[in-house]
């Protein structure tokens, strides 16, 4: 995705469409993990849908992040030195811990089958929840410190980024649940975070001229509209009004994930196409370049594989566990 620089030279956007995919996946996974922790520790529910979402989205998030590094082998530099002043460096440790712990949790859940949760699993659930908070905090933090991108370098951006992640986590859980014929978790969380997103985004838009400029001139046509209407308002309305319908719950959840994607797409790419010095948008054609399509398709494919893997893992282990119990 090239950004056209008018007085010097066109350059590759530093944050590629892969970053959109990564932030969507890891944000959704972390939010589902929070939902899972809340359900298991407070409400004493199994929340299997939330677990599948947390583990599979987390599992799928690593590769898009590598792809975003331009030269993916550079990831080793995160671990060859220490940079405690850098939020991104902390994130490089949170991420593998989060992925590993959610997968381990999925493994433990599957292995115990229908047996009650043991103390170790309870402890791991708490760790997963804590790491999910770290993930949400670091992802919002590492972007909002980029002073060169005024749209990110505001109070509104990290708040809306986190709120849309929470919506997406709740939404994805609702969708997975409805595919599995369940109505377990996420509806209340989606409604609350959706309403909060509307308020926060509205306040941000009213107070930050950079965002209004972005919305007016830079963001791919209609994306902000799509984000607000299809990605926030409709899923909230559906979630409130159609509590009984599996199909509508599933649609509501999927739209919430779309909302988080649309927000990231328009603010990540848009803010970078917003030349540091210019007041016009030149990236319309570039918005759906092959790069971007590859990032979307690759991440979607990987996510589906992760979902299949995690579901199979839990189900197969559960089948084995129940056989052992019967034996």
Partner 1 sequence: MTISRRGVLQGATALGATGAAFWGFAETGKNFYQGVMGSAQAKGIAGGALPPEYKVDTSTGEVILNPDQRVGYTMCMGCTSVCGIRVRVDKASGDILRATGNPYSPLSTNPHIPYDTPIKEAITGLSAYGEQGLAGRSTACGRGNAAIAKQNSKERILKPMKRVGERGSGQWKEISWDQLIEETVEGGDLFGEGNVEGLRAIRDLKTPLDPENPEYGPKANQLVVIPVFKNGRLMMAARFAKMAYGTRNFVGHRSYCGLSMRAGYAAMLDNLKKQPHLKPDYRHAKYMLFIGTAPGNAGNPYKLQGTLMGAARGRDGVKYAVVDPVLTNSQNHAFGKDNTWVPIRPGTDGALVMGMIRWIMENERYDAKFLAQPSGAAAQTAGEASWSNATHLVIDDPEHPKGGSFLRQGMVTADLEEDAQKAPMCLDAQTGELSPAKGRPATLFHQGTVRLLDGSTVPVATSLSLLRREALRKTLAEYSTDCGVPEERIISLARDFTSVGKQAAADCHGGTMHAAGFYTAYAIVMLNALVGNLNAKGGTTAGGGRFKDVQKGPRYNLLAFPGKVKVKGVDAGRGGFAYEKTSEFKRLVADGKNPYPAQAPWHSFTQPMGAQWLTSVLEGYPYKAKAVITWSSNPVYGVAGMENDVKEKIKDTKRLPLFIAIDPFINETSRFADYIVPDRVFYEAWGWASAWGGVPTKVSTARWPVVDCQTGKTPDGRHMDMDNFFIDVAKRMDLPGFGEKAIPDADGNLHPLHRSEDFWMRAGANVAFDGGAVPESDDVDMTITGVDRIRADLESTLKPDEWRRVAYVYNRGGRYEDAAKTYKGDTFARSYKKGIQVWNETVGTARNSMTGKKFAGCPTWQAPSFADGTQVDKAFPPDLWPFRVVSTKSQLRSSSTGGNPYLDDLKLSNAIAINTVDADQLSIKTGDWITVISPSNRISGQALVRKGIARGAIGIEHGYGHRELGARTHKIGKVILEGHSERGLGTNSNDLGYTDPTSKGPALLADPVVGSIARQALPARIEK
* Contact flag: residue 73 with partner 1 (CB under 8 A): yes
Between CA 181 and CA 175 the distance in angstroms is: 10
First to last CA, the chain: 58
Could you say whether residue 210 binds partner 1 (CB under 8 A)?
A: yes
Residue 304 contacts partner 1 per CB under 8 A:
yes
10 binds partner 1 (CB under 8 A): yes
Whole-number Å distance between alpha carbons of 325 and 320:
9
Q: Indicate which single residue of 42, 114, 116, 277 sits in contact with partner 1 (rule: CB under 8 A).
A: 277
Taking the complex as a whole, the smallest distance from the CB of residue 251 to partner 1 amounts, in Å, to 19
Site string for partner 1, 105-124 (x = CB under 8 A): --------------------
Backbone φ/ψ region at 287: left (φ over 0), alpha (ψ -120 to 50), beta: alpha
Q: Under rule CB under 8 A, how many of the chain's residues touch partner 1? A: 41
Q: Please spell the DSSP secondary structure of 239-293, one letter per residue.
A: HHH-SS-HHHHHHHHHHHHHHHHHHHIIIIIHHHHS-SS--S---TGGGG-HHHH
CA–CA separation, 2 and 103 (whole Å): 36
Binding of partner 1 by 66 (CB under 8 A): yes
Cross-strand pairs, 183: none
Tokens of 165: 């992640």
What minimum distance in Å lies between the beta carbon of 182 and partner 1?
17
Q: Is 298 an interacting residue with respect to partner 1 (CB under 8 A)?
A: yes
Least distance in angstroms from the C-beta of 204 to partner 1: 16
Segment lying near partner 1 (by CB under 8 A), choices 84-92, 146-154, 174-182, 261-269: 146-154
Binding mask 151-190 for partner 1 (x = CB under 8 A): --x-------------------------------------
């Amino acid at each position: 995705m090239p950004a056209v620089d008018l007085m010097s030279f066109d350059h590759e956007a530093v944050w590629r469409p892969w970053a959109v995919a990564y932030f969507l996946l890891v944000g959704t996974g972390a939010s589902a993990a929070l939902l899972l922790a809340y359900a298991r520790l407070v409400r004493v529910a199994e929340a299997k849908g939330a677990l599948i979402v947390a583990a599979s989205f987390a599992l799928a998030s690593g590769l898009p992040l590598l792809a975003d590094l331009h030269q993916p082998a550079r990831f080793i530099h995160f671990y060859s030195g220490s940079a405690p002043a850098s939020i991104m460096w902390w994130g490089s440790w949170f991420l593998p811990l989060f992925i590993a712990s959610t997968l381990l949790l999925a493994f433990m859940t599957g292995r115990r089958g229908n047996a009650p949760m043991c103390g170790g699993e309870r402890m791991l659930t708490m760790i997963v929840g804590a790491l999910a908070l770290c993930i949400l905090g670091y992802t919002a933090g590492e972007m909002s410190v980029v002073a060169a991108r005024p749209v990110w370098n505001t109070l509104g951006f990290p708040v809306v980024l986190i709120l849309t992640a929470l919506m997406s986590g709740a939404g994805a859980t609702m969708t997975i649940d409805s595919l599995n014929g369940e109505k377990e978790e996420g509806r209340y969380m989606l409604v609350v975070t959706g309403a909060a997103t509307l308020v926060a985004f509205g306040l941000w838009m009213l107070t930050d001229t950079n965002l209004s400029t972005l919305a007016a001139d830079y963001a791919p046509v209609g994306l902000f509209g799509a984000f607000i209407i299809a990605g926030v308002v409709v899923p909230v309305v559906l979630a409130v009004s159609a509590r009984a319908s599996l199909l509508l719950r599933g649609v509501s959840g999927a739209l919430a994930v779309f909302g988080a994607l649309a927000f990231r797409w328009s603010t990540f790419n848009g803010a970078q196409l917003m030349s540091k010095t210019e007041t016009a948008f030149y990236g319309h054609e570039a918005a759906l370049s092959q790069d971007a399509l590859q990032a979307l398709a690759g991440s979607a494919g990987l996510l589906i594989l992760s979902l299949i893997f995690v579901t199979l893992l839990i189900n197969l282990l559960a089948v084995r566990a129940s056989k052992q119990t019967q034996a």
